[in-house]
Structure 1
Amino acid sequence: MFRYVHTNIIAKDARKLIEFYKTVVKCKSINETRDLRGVWLDRLTGINKAHISGEHLLLPGYGEDHPTLEIFSYDVLKEALVPEINRPGIAHIAFEVDDVETTLKEIINAGGARIGELVTAAYPNGQEAVFIYAQDPEGNIIELQSWIDIESNS
């Protein structure tokens, strides 16, 4: 078997970020909270006396238990690089929404921010997409997108 299971975000304030993703991004609690420590975790992470806590949230639009967004926090955090859209590594998580502008306002009202401009792009398959990049309250980058079939709306 090979299947996608989750994406993990390490938060400065896991409870606050969990609430943001539940409220604004419509992720759902599936009662999978974690409070992990022990020799096995030290060995897995390579961190002595590691302690992580947080929760798995069900991503919107999928099954009843997966895939999830795992939001954890360590007792000891390293200083983070400022997330940038062109930094190597995982750059952003994307969500398809009904209304990009409304969702962006919700993100900003919840402590997030906007990156760049809202754009509309025509695709050769007869669809048009509206895109914007935003940041959650801790600076993680979120792409919002909405698609319409322009050929059937003509």
Structure 2
Amino acid sequence: MAIKQMHNVGIVVDDLDETIDFLGEIGLELEGRATIEGEWAGRVTGLGDQHVEVAMMRTPDGHSRLELSRFIRPAVVEDHRNVPVNALGYLRVMFSVDDVDETLERLRKRGAQLVGEVVQYKDIYRLCYIRGPGGLLIGLAQELG
């Protein structure tokens, strides 16, 4: 049996409201928000008794989703937000945007920090990495031509 589609990518955040607002500025839409707790949830994750606030953010084309989670219980045990881009595990999420410069200008007003610089890859893309809310690593790609 083949995979039908990718449903979502999960990211643990420390401030759900700020992250929802920030990703909304990029263009993602809040699909839904809920509190997840109970024995069934702990069986899925292996964490046992858990209490989590989640928000599902959808890309404008409707094909991709980010599931944002803020753990109330159990407490977060590790923090990978400040590791360099060559660290194992979650690296970053990248979004295609119409205009990197305009997007950067809007996101800087919300606290985004450019990681390196905006670069051009051949005549194909303009690319950059930013740090968003809570140090979340986000890539922006503008297709050229």
TM-score category (smaller protein): 0.7 to 0.9
Structure 2's unaligned 5+ residue stretches are: none
Mapping of residues 14-93 of structure 1, within 5 Å: 14-22=16-24, 24-30=25-31, 32-60=32-60, 62-63=61-62, 66-75=63-72, 76-81=75-80, 82-93=82-93
What's the TM-score, normalizing by structure 2? 0.87
Q: Which amino acid aligns with 2:130?
A: A
- Contact 1:133-1:142 at 8 Å conserved across structures: yes
The answer (yes or no) to whether the contact 2:22–2:110 under 8 Å persists in 1 is: yes
Judge conservation of contact 1:83–1:141 (CA < 8 Å) in 2.
no
> Letter of the aligned partner of 2:70 in structure 1?
S
Which has more radius of gyration?
1
Q: CA offsets per residue over residues 40-98 of structure 1, 9 Å max, x none? A: 112222223211112111113x12xx421111101022240324211112211111111
RMSD, aligned CA: 1.5
Residue in 1 aligned with 2:125? Answer: 129
Counterpart Cα distance in 2 of 1:110 and 1:129: 24
Q: Distance in 1 between matches of 2:144 and 2:117?
A: 19
Aligned residues: 140
Paired residues of 1:94 and 1:144 also in contact (CA < 8 A):
yes
In 1, Cα distance between equivalents of 2:10 and 2:68: 6
Gaps of 5+ in 1: 150-154
